[in-house]
Structure 1
Amino acid sequence: MPATGQQSEDSAVRHKVNPKDISIEADLDELSAVVTYVVETTYLDAFGVAVDSEKKRERKRIKLRKNLKPSTDVSKLAGDVMKKCKYVHVSKRDELERVIQDLQHQLIRDDLRASTGGGGDGGDWWRGGEEGRGGKNGGEEEQEEAQMDSLEDYVELLYEGKDKDDMTKKIKGTALILDLCCHVGNLEHLIQDHTLMGALTRVLSEEYKKSVELCYNILRAFLAFSNFMEMHPILSTYRVGNITLKIVELEVQRAQHRQEEKRKRSAEVEKALREARGNDAQTATVRRRAEREEAKQKVQTKRQDKLLFVGLHILINLAEEVSTERKMVRKGLVELLRSLLERASVNLLYLTATFLKKLSVLEENKDRAKECGVAGCLVRFVPCSCDPLIVMTLRLLYNLSFDPDIRAQMVKAGLIPKLVELLKRPPYRARGLRLLYHMSIDDRCKTMFAYTDAMPIVMQLVLNFPQKMLAKELAALAVNLSLNPRNAQMMASQRGLPHLVDRVTETKDPLLMKVVRNISMWTFRSQEAMDSPEKEYRERTLWDPLVEPLLDLATETESHELLVEVLGTLNNLTTLDLPRGIGWVDVLSNYALAPFLTKLLVPGMAQNDIILEVVILAGVMAQDPQAAALLAGSRLISALHDLWSDKSGDTEITLQLLLTLWWLLHTKESREEILYSTGALAEMLDALDSRHPPTRAMATACMDIVLEFDRSDDGRLGQMGEQVRRRRFAAHNREWLHAASQIEDMDVVYGSRARNNGVPLSDSEDHDHHHHDHDHDPEEGPARRRSSGRGGSSGGNDPAGNGDDLSWSNGWES
């Protein structure tokens, strides 16, 4: 087979394999990697011209069972596979490593679940040995071979040994029964034997505190049954799960008691050594006694780890049913697993982490894990010497990291620096990125990344990512980190920003463009915080070479998501970010930007988020008086006015439209275009009645500019100024005008005049009861408008009027 991606040709045929057509899958049953690729065969004539071609999909199976072990270095094995299998392209190395890692995990799961079979050095550490084969005396004579015909005799052995200290026969009986359980074909017959199951559960519930070997044999037999879902109801009938949980709880308590004894013993040894100082013989005696105790404790710990492993394995099998799992959790399972995380056995820790990961799917279990502080205990395994344990720990931490309180526990335990170091190891990179992304959600955690190697590593991963589009977890992490000013500065340093823009120009990746936009937000806010940006701004040349590529990208791209980010980046640029000697007027003229923005504002042409960015960009350019004058000669201002009626229900667009118009009103040419060529004044007046306070404030600011500039030479307001003044008076006295209109409506209905204690209110008295704005003309006051609205009844003194008597004090009378 020729090398992938290369051509091998003879006189008539040419074969080619495209790396993009290569896929690698894991066959978990055969523990092999299946590589699928497409061979393109081209047939040539005598002159070397292609006359025909065909494509054929082929598959190769790479068997890894002999080379794969739980302790195998995944990266090294992937390299060996690529050297031998030339059709696996170098760009597929990460995918191959993931497949090998999945196969390694499957191998470990097979070892953990296998309750039968012979030796081996994988997950078989908890099988065999003196325990379960007749105890300490079992090594003196060969264990007899168990036979199904002798089952009743083995059950009889469970009733022997009436003396509390004599467990030999019971241990022997359980060992023989365990041998029968090693054959899958016997399991169905054994579990249906009520006498056997009753005897095993009775002996286990009565004797589990007395003998670890006896308890271990019976639990291993139950483990063989629990591997089959069909047998779970029978095990539940005999309360196997409840008994097993009690045993695990007892062993955890024993371990805690032994730790306390060990601490006391260590203190006593130190005291004895101090007293024996200078006496070599006594010192040697104390040390030998301490070493014997230490060796004894190691043996006990090893036996206990095996017993706990089998017990946990039974529980995790029975917990496949959600109801059973919830019963276990209510009885303190999560707290027990939290205690087991302090053990030293890697196999037991892996099984504990697996169980916790299974439980973490439910929210109530996650809350219990939070109360127990499970996350803080898991951090010590990142990293560790066992690769499967690292992976399982990362998966568990990821499930827990959706809770903000648990994320705080992880941060307090120092997880962020460890995860950053883990990014340097490809097998854990994807899961590490997901976890770091969750960590970066909290604003107070974003700053912590600046004090690690995270920023250089993330930048290298982004710039050298092999595929066109960034992985979502990598892009999401980069976006979150770039929101922090310190991180954004580190990203932009050492020509990082130009490299990011170059990659965006090449790949058109909108998520990566969002990172560039966040960096532009950092430079914009930096200038806002300065008293004199012209003198203090140090990043003045940062965006100089990037303005032109960004403008080209905006005018050429067809991607909606990318255009939003590019326009948002341009909106954050100021005149100090543009190349020296170039203003927004040059940008408008050189790149025909006004027609492009006008086209985007055509109804139905773009979505609301693009329209919003276009309006903001128009406001940014309008801050330059020359650019505003140039915009006055384009159709952009009329397009902004047309947009008002189309997007009147969008509060954000309305507010940004007012801000853009406010900037345009500062320049004479654009102000005249707005006021005399469009009906924008009416829309701005309507905005005075908006329920949105920022919108009302911005509309008021626009009206102030109209009042300032729409005056004659002698200082009198023009027609628009008068219109603005009247509308502002109406908005300021809205409540009074509403009450006045109600009184006028009553006058029309009842044909009478309002009286105060029987005395009619004159026009002047009515006017004095209400205030008016300082800009209001007294001749056009509310009293005059109100009286004229009553149909000409102008303050006569005859209370009879139409023959009806209206009195506010006495009510209506006929």
Structure 2
Amino acid sequence: MELNEEASITRVDEYIELLYEGIPEKIRGSALILQLARNPDNLEELLHNEAALGALARVLREDWKQSVELATIIIYIFFCFSSFSQFHGVVSHYKIGALCMSVVEHELKRHDVWREELRKKNKACESAPENGSLRRDQDKAVRKYHGLLSKQEQLLRVSLYLLLNLAEDTRTELKMRNKNIVGLLVKVLERDDEELLVLVVSFLKKLSIFLENKNDMAEVDTVERLARLVPCDHDDLLNLTLRLLLNLSFDSGLRAKMVEVGLLPKLTALLGDENSRQVALRILYHISIDDRFKGMFVYTDCIPQLMQMLYEHGEEDTEAELLSICINLAANKRNAQLICEGNGLKMLMKRALKMKDCLLMKMIRNISQHDGATKPVFIDYVGDLAAEIRAEEEEEWVLECLGTLANLTIPDLDWELVLKEYNLVPYLKDRLKPASAEDDLILEVVIMIGTVSMDDACAAMLAKSGIIPALIELLNAQQEDDEFVCQIVYVFYQMVFHQATRDVIIKDTQAPAYLIDLMHDKNAEIRKVCDNTLDIIAEYDEEWGRKIQSEKFRFHNNQWLEMVESRQADESEPYLYDNDNDRTDLFYSADGITPADGSVSPDFFNDLQPQNGDMHHTADGSDVFDQTSSSPGRPATAYGFRPDEQPFYQYS
């Protein structure tokens, strides 16, 4: 409402009297008071005028449904008070917040009714396009709808702004949550008014820092409705939308929803926008944590853009956010191939070695783990990486370089030459000592030994250096750590393929005894590697073969032996009736295969080996333990980069 008169603080009583008249007078009176309230200097005096505030609250409570304009003006007056924390008490005293919640809910329902009426008129017009009367009715309805919508959005804007101010107090915010503030705000996201959307997204962003509110947003179509705002021409709205999505992206279910609604290519496109790049990068980082979505980056131009950003940094320190997403994406084979295209790997390696950048080397390490076209490319850099394995270097840096080398299971690589040229054996042996370094570095040394042990000459050189006893000592020290146990056993597995190291392991160490103890470990991966290693030992050493077979016999018949031992210990209380003692047919029998006395010899289990996961023996005498046919893949290590680590940055 436009007024031609200027309000005066000395005439407030006259304006109050207007609030007791009809709707037009109430609108005029409240509009004049609003003029005063918009000047912060008048708020203190209005605060002490209980008659004015009481009358305004009463009129709003009684007449807000009769006039959108009147409701908008009065809520605006209380909004002026809500802009200052010290005046929140008076707004709460008159229960204006609860009233605003009711207003918003009611107006959203009215909007649904308007849209339904408009839909019906559009449908009627479409069914009879030649009917001029229907066309005029439709045009009139559209004009009316837009007029009502404009006024309603003003009311919604001021109501929600007041609620946002009051939500400064978390107790008040909790009351709003109990009245479904999240559901109301998400419904408003359907609107097109950018100023209203800025307010709503700001409110949702504030609410999203609390778990309960985030869960409420997950239950409604929040991400779907935000997706249409990315990108948009309104810079503030885009920025707020991205920051809200960033808060929501900490939830794995909501990350999945973001991918589902097509946000991945939209966010990738924003990497070229200087203003949106940082937030978009952080959201993409969160999406890249999930293995389900790493491969989907292949279908965007994200990786070329990331590589360009890395290249543009030159010798400056690279942003942690940029490196962190690259580390995650490099864990996917197809992504790694894209990264290596052209001179990608050369650029990364040159930068990492020059800057001694641990995060960049971690990315390279992730690339090196993939079989296929990428792994042979690393042959050119084996010397550079091996040269970094020195006691003088930082452990974190050595860990990444060593981890990269350990991944290079390339048949043509002469590991003996590498170990000799860079004098790595003393370093590896020294690092095997318990507590000589951080556990993750010691573990990487074990994995490295497993890799180089594939080479016959290299394995022999390691055996002569005394590394096998050092591994057994480490196994004793780390016997509670499945990761260490599994990787050390894998080293033994690699070494028993070679005559020189096989003899050392079988005749000069107690490694087979340790492996027998681990045959029935609760960890399936350890059991698998142990079984394969013991099968090879049994093939080449009869004495150990008998011990291994005996242990398998004992384990497979454990329950039966326990029952037999229990019967022997309790002869006074026989399990069978006296007259059944001579009934041998009552004992376990398997169609004549198992003797009726219940005894089973160890030889019986030779025929059952394939059923228990043991290796077959071939009749033609061929070497069934040929490494290329029977070698299992190296057990995966849980050390190295963990996608759920988030040490690189904090969110405001």
Alignment TM-score > 0.5, same fold: yes
Per the alignment, residue 143 of structure 1 pairs with: 5
Q: Deviations over 1:177-235 (max 9, x none)?
A: 11221232332332232221221011112221222322222111101111122322322
- Output the amino acid matched with 2:601: H
Per the alignment, residue 51 of structure 2 pairs with: 195
TM superposition shift of 1:385: 1.2
How far apart, CA to CA, are the structure 2 residues paired with 1:654 and 1:144?
85
TM superposition shift of 1:757: 4.6
How far apart, CA to CA, are the structure 2 residues paired with 1:754 and 1:238?
85
2:389 is the alignment partner of 1:554: yes
How far apart, CA to CA, are the structure 1 residues paired with 2:374 and 2:161?
60
Per the alignment, residue 484 of structure 2 pairs with: 653
TM superposition shift of 1:598: 0.6
TM superposition shift of 1:293: 6.3
TM superposition shift of 1:679: 3.1
How far apart, CA to CA, are the structure 2 residues paired with 1:189 and 1:591?
84
Per the alignment, residue 392 of structure 1 pairs with: 240
2:510 is the alignment partner of 1:679: yes
TM superposition shift of 1:382: 1.4
Alignment map for 1:500-579 (pairs within 5 Å):
500-523=348-371, 526=372, 538=373, 541-555=376-390, 558-576=393-411
Per the alignment, residue 408 of structure 1 pairs with: 256
CA contact (8 A) 1:187 1:225 kept: yes
Q: Deviations over 1:658-711 (max 9, x none)?
A: 22112212222212222333333332333235343443443343333333323x
- Output the amino acid matched with 2:221: G
TM superposition shift of 1:649: 1.7
CA contact (8 A) 1:658 1:698 kept: yes
CA contact (8 A) 1:434 1:473 kept: yes
Aligned residues: 594
TM superposition shift of 1:735: 4.7
CA contact (8 A) 2:186 2:220 kept: yes
Instruction: Point out the structure with the larger strand share.
Output: 1
- Output the amino acid matched with 1:511: L
Per the alignment, residue 89 of structure 1 pairs with: none
- Output the amino acid matched with 1:690: D
Per the alignment, residue 453 of structure 2 pairs with: 622
- Output the amino acid matched with 1:650: D
Describe the shift of the 1:693–1:255 C-alpha distance in structure 2 as closer, same or farther (beyond 3 A).
Answer: closer
How far apart, CA to CA, are the structure 2 residues paired with 1:240 and 1:296?
29
Candidates 423, 428, 431, aligned match of 1:597: 428
Describe the shift of the 1:575–1:371 C-alpha distance in structure 2 as closer, same or farther (beyond 3 A).
Answer: closer
CA contact (8 A) 2:375 2:410 kept: no
TM superposition shift of 1:513: 2.0
How far apart, CA to CA, are the structure 1 residues paired with 2:566 and 2:69?
95
Candidates 101, 113, 122, aligned match of 1:245: 101
Candidates 287, 301, 305, aligned match of 1:439: 287
CA contact (8 A) 1:688 1:700 kept: yes
2:170 is the alignment partner of 1:170: no
2:90 is the alignment partner of 1:228: no
- Output the amino acid matched with 1:771: V
2:163 is the alignment partner of 1:307: no
The secondary structure found in structure 2 opposite 1:342 is coil
Q: Deviations over 1:478-531 (max 9, x none)?
A: 1222222221111111121121111211222222222222222222xx4xxxxx
How far apart, CA to CA, are the structure 2 residues paired with 1:431 and 1:265?
44
Describe the shift of the 1:539–1:399 C-alpha distance in structure 2 as closer, same or farther (beyond 3 A).
Answer: closer
TM-score, normalising length: structure 2 = 0.83
How far apart, CA to CA, are the structure 2 residues paired with 1:290 and 1:691?
74
CA contact (8 A) 1:180 1:186 kept: yes
TM superposition shift of 1:641: 2.1
- Output the amino acid matched with 2:187: S
TM superposition shift of 1:335: 2.2
Describe the shift of the 1:445–1:273 C-alpha distance in structure 2 as closer, same or farther (beyond 3 A).
Answer: same
The structure with higher relative contact order (CA 8 Å, sep 6+) is 2
How far apart, CA to CA, are the structure 2 residues paired with 1:230 and 1:466?
52
How far apart, CA to CA, are the structure 1 residues paired with 2:549 and 2:453?
26
How far apart, CA to CA, are the structure 2 residues paired with 1:689 and 1:270?
76
TM superposition shift of 1:263: 3.9
- Output the amino acid matched with 1:634: S
- Output the amino acid matched with 1:571: A
Describe the shift of the 1:755–1:181 C-alpha distance in structure 2 as closer, same or farther (beyond 3 A).
Answer: closer
Per the alignment, residue 803 of structure 1 pairs with: none
How far apart, CA to CA, are the structure 1 residues paired with 2:245 and 2:374?
40
Candidates 613, 620, 636, aligned match of 2:444: 613
How far apart, CA to CA, are the structure 2 residues paired with 1:746 and 1:496?
75
How far apart, CA to CA, are the structure 2 residues paired with 1:270 and 1:686?
81
The secondary structure found in structure 2 opposite 1:542 is helix
How far apart, CA to CA, are the structure 2 residues paired with 1:236 and 1:426?
42
Per the alignment, residue 633 of structure 2 pairs with: none
Describe the shift of the 1:275–1:464 C-alpha distance in structure 2 as closer, same or farther (beyond 3 A).
Answer: same
The secondary structure found in structure 2 opposite 1:599 is helix
CA contact (8 A) 2:375 2:408 kept: no
How far apart, CA to CA, are the structure 1 residues paired with 2:548 and 2:214?
61
Computing the radius of gyration from Cα coordinates, the structure with the larger value is: 1
Per the alignment, residue 38 of structure 1 pairs with: none
How far apart, CA to CA, are the structure 2 residues paired with 1:266 and 1:754?
88
Per the alignment, residue 40 of structure 1 pairs with: none
How far apart, CA to CA, are the structure 2 residues paired with 1:349 and 1:755?
83
Per the alignment, residue 498 of structure 2 pairs with: 667
2:31 is the alignment partner of 1:153: no
How far apart, CA to CA, are the structure 2 residues paired with 1:754 and 1:155?
101
How far apart, CA to CA, are the structure 2 residues paired with 1:637 and 1:512?
33
TM superposition shift of 1:264: 4.4
CA contact (8 A) 2:7 2:33 kept: no
CA contact (8 A) 1:395 1:431 kept: yes
CA contact (8 A) 1:595 1:635 kept: no
Instruction: Point out the structure with the larger helix share.
Output: 2
CA contact (8 A) 1:241 1:315 kept: yes
How far apart, CA to CA, are the structure 1 residues paired with 2:535 and 2:123?
83
TM superposition shift of 1:258: 3.2
TM superposition shift of 1:244: 1.4
Q: Deviations over 1:340-360 (max 9, x none)?
A: 212222111101101111111
How far apart, CA to CA, are the structure 2 residues paired with 1:506 and 1:571?
21
2:601 is the alignment partner of 1:772: yes
Unaligned 5+ runs, structure 1: 1-130, 162-166, 277-281, 527-537, 711-716, 777-814
CA contact (8 A) 1:733 1:772 kept: no
How far apart, CA to CA, are the structure 1 residues paired with 2:577 and 2:147?
105
Per the alignment, residue 212 of structure 1 pairs with: 68
The secondary structure found in structure 2 opposite 1:522 is coil
Per the alignment, residue 276 of structure 2 pairs with: 428
Alignment map for 1:220-369 (pairs within 5 Å):
220-266=76-122, 274-275=130-131, 297-369=145-217
Q: Deviations over 1:352-394 (max 9, x none)?
A: 1011111112222222222220111111221111111111101
- Output the amino acid matched with 1:701: N
The secondary structure found in structure 2 opposite 1:431 is helix
How far apart, CA to CA, are the structure 1 residues paired with 2:523 and 2:153?
66
TM superposition shift of 1:266: 4.6
TM superposition shift of 1:241: 0.9
TM superposition shift of 1:470: 3.5
The secondary structure found in structure 2 opposite 1:612 is helix
CA contact (8 A) 2:63 2:71 kept: yes
How far apart, CA to CA, are the structure 1 residues paired with 2:112 and 2:553?
80
How far apart, CA to CA, are the structure 1 residues paired with 2:6 and 2:445?
87
Per the alignment, residue 468 of structure 2 pairs with: 637
CA contact (8 A) 2:30 2:74 kept: yes
How far apart, CA to CA, are the structure 2 residues paired with 1:756 and 1:667?
58
Per the alignment, residue 639 of structure 2 pairs with: none
TM-score, normalising length: structure 1 = 0.67
How far apart, CA to CA, are the structure 2 residues paired with 1:632 and 1:676?
13
TM superposition shift of 1:290: 7.2
Please give the root-mean-square deviation of Cα atoms over the aligned residues, in Å: 3.3
CA contact (8 A) 1:468 1:507 kept: no
How far apart, CA to CA, are the structure 2 residues paired with 1:700 and 1:257?
72
